[in-house]
Amino acid sequence: MVDMSATIIHHGHIRLLKKAFEYGDIIVGLTTDQEIINVKGYKPELDYDSRKEILESIKYVLQVVPTSWKINNSILEKYKIDYLVHGDDNFNKIKRDKLLIFPRTEGVSSSELRIKSSDIVNKVKRNILLNPGPATTTDTVKLAQIVPDICPREKEFGLILNEISEDLTSFVADKDNYSTILFGASGTAAIESILSSVLPKKNKIIIVNNGSYGDRMCKIASRYNLSYVEFKSSKISAIDVLKLEETIKTIKNISHIALVHNETTTGLLNDIEEIGTLAKKYKLELILDAMSSYGAIPINMEDLNISYLAASSNKNLQGLPGVSFVIAKNDSLKNLKNVQQLSYYLSLKEQYDYFKANLQTRFTPPVQTLYALKQAIIEAKTESIEKRYDRYKKSWRTLIEGINKLGLKYIVDKKTHSKIITAINLPDHIKFQELHDYFYLRGITIYPGKIDEFNTFRIANIGAINYNDINEFLFHLNSFLILKFK
């Protein structure tokens, strides 16, 4: 028996049948229409009788019989089956000696074909976003937004939120000792939530500022009247950790330290291992803005002594914008009961407590964005964080080789570079807007620079893109430069 639903028949089915045919006569166990509706949630394009008719005319097939989604031993007995043949995604509970497993044909499945041929997706043009998020998304993530309307206070949705939270935690920590707290907002909300929720009144926090996002944390701290010390550091080279340590020693009642992991301003990657060691030595709670590193650069919160980490749905996770989240150590969250919450909406403690008690966010979450995030997480797990970073790094090397050839320079040395976002010097006679518009017409979005000292533009190599897209960018950049230098 070969079991399939064959909703859209393709060469993967044929190859499997052909292989199975080498072992004997084939009875196809064909999933009924009702089972497909129940399990997969859609009505098959071709009904059972049509699918049966097609299969029966394939020369390898002897007979087609209706079956449930999963095949069990009693079905095998009923049709006197010797072996169940399945692709290597088998989840049927069948005795091992009755199973024949073959590798699936790569790059094809009915679900993928369904999405590829979907009217909705085909009407959406693929843009290449080289801005540092929201990043280019896959069609499957785009499509995942389209779901039946649902009230987010339903248990069904609560379970999805819970699964999302646990998965987000699992990328960087063990989910028994760390938790994810979700907010319906852009990434800055997660940072603001931490800063306004974790610092006891009498305590001080040191904030490392070596770019716009470190600067933003200082501005937030200032807005909430926190007792903070700003530690200014070069925007283009590594933090002087000895100097940082000396500063920490002089601050009375210091209990927290905050910094950005990958400074999106330049792509400067701060050494969080060194800072984590420092945090441990001085018993400081470490707050990390990992917005543009999470999901690509592997992070282990426990090893690095990170108490609070902030990230969002639309950067390396390759989801849609609208969800930001804090991942925190449960022990740190427990201690918040004595800390005054300075924001009502963004209270980390209240959002955490409320979700734990009710499996709901306190306020309306972006429902459809969360469904898309769920799909984005599946895709991140399938690819793995390490492989995703490898893909990004390959794009980055392509970018650097390309701009070198064109005689352009980039800021921040390779050693301290995140290989995720790059600030590239813009020749003086070129206006960013002109360059932007040239690319935008061609379906590519580039991003302005953010450092006053240099005339730059930025290229992020994140999202559902690869080095071929970077080559396309380089091709157009070359044409543009030729045009300008004529």
Q: Is residue 291 involved in binding ligand PLP (CB under 6 A)?
A: yes
Q: Is residue 287 involved in binding ligand PLP (CB under 6 A)?
A: no
Query: From the list 44, 87, 132, 365, which residue makes contact with ligand PLP (rule: CB under 6 A)?
Result: 132
Q: Is residue 194 involved in binding ligand PLP (CB under 6 A)?
A: no
Q: How many CA atoms are closer than 13 Å to the CA of 312, on its beta-carbon side?
A: 25
Q: Are 297 and 389 in contact (CB under 8 A)?
A: yes
Q: Is residue 264 involved in binding ligand PLP (CB under 6 A)?
A: yes
Compute the C-alpha angle 391/316/475, nearest 5°.
Answer: 50
Displacement of CA 85 from its chain's centroid (Å): 35
Smallest distance, Å, CB 214 to ligand PLP?
Answer: 9
Q: Is residue 133 involved in binding ligand PLP (CB under 6 A)?
A: yes
Compute the C-alpha angle 341/228/340, nearest 5°.
Answer: 15
Query: From the list 259, 260, 328, 462, which residue makes contact with ligand PLP (rule: CB under 6 A)?
Result: 260
Tokens of 375: 């799909």
Q: Is residue 188 involved in binding ligand PLP (CB under 6 A)?
A: yes
Query: From the list 72, 90, 186, 227, which residue makes contact with ligand PLP (rule: CB under 6 A)?
Result: 186
Query: From the list 187, 276, 319, 449, which residue makes contact with ligand PLP (rule: CB under 6 A)?
Result: 187
29/133 with CB nearer ligand PLP: 133
d(CA 282, CA 249): 8
Q: Is residue 182 involved in binding ligand PLP (CB under 6 A)?
A: no
Per DSSP, helices labelled H in 90-152 are 110-116, 119-122, 139-143
Locate tokens 């992020």: which residue? 460
Among residues 405, 417, 415, 429, the alpha carbon closest in space to that of 458 is found at 417
Taking residues 202 to 231 in sequence order and writing x for each that binds ligand PLP by CB under 6 A, - otherwise, the string is -----------x------------------
Task: Indicate the helix (H) or strand (E) that contains 475.
Answer: helix 467-485
Judged on CB neighbours under 10 Å (0-12, 13-18, 19+), 238 is middle
Query: From the list 5, 292, 316, 318, which residue makes contact with ligand PLP (rule: CB under 6 A)?
Result: 292
Q: In this chain, which stretch among 44-52, 79-87, 183-191, 268-276 interacts with ligand PLP, using CB under 6 A?
A: 183-191
Q: Is residue 26 involved in binding ligand PLP (CB under 6 A)?
A: no
Which residues are near ligand PLP by CB under 6 A?
A: 132-133, 186-188, 213, 260, 264, 289, 291-292, 312
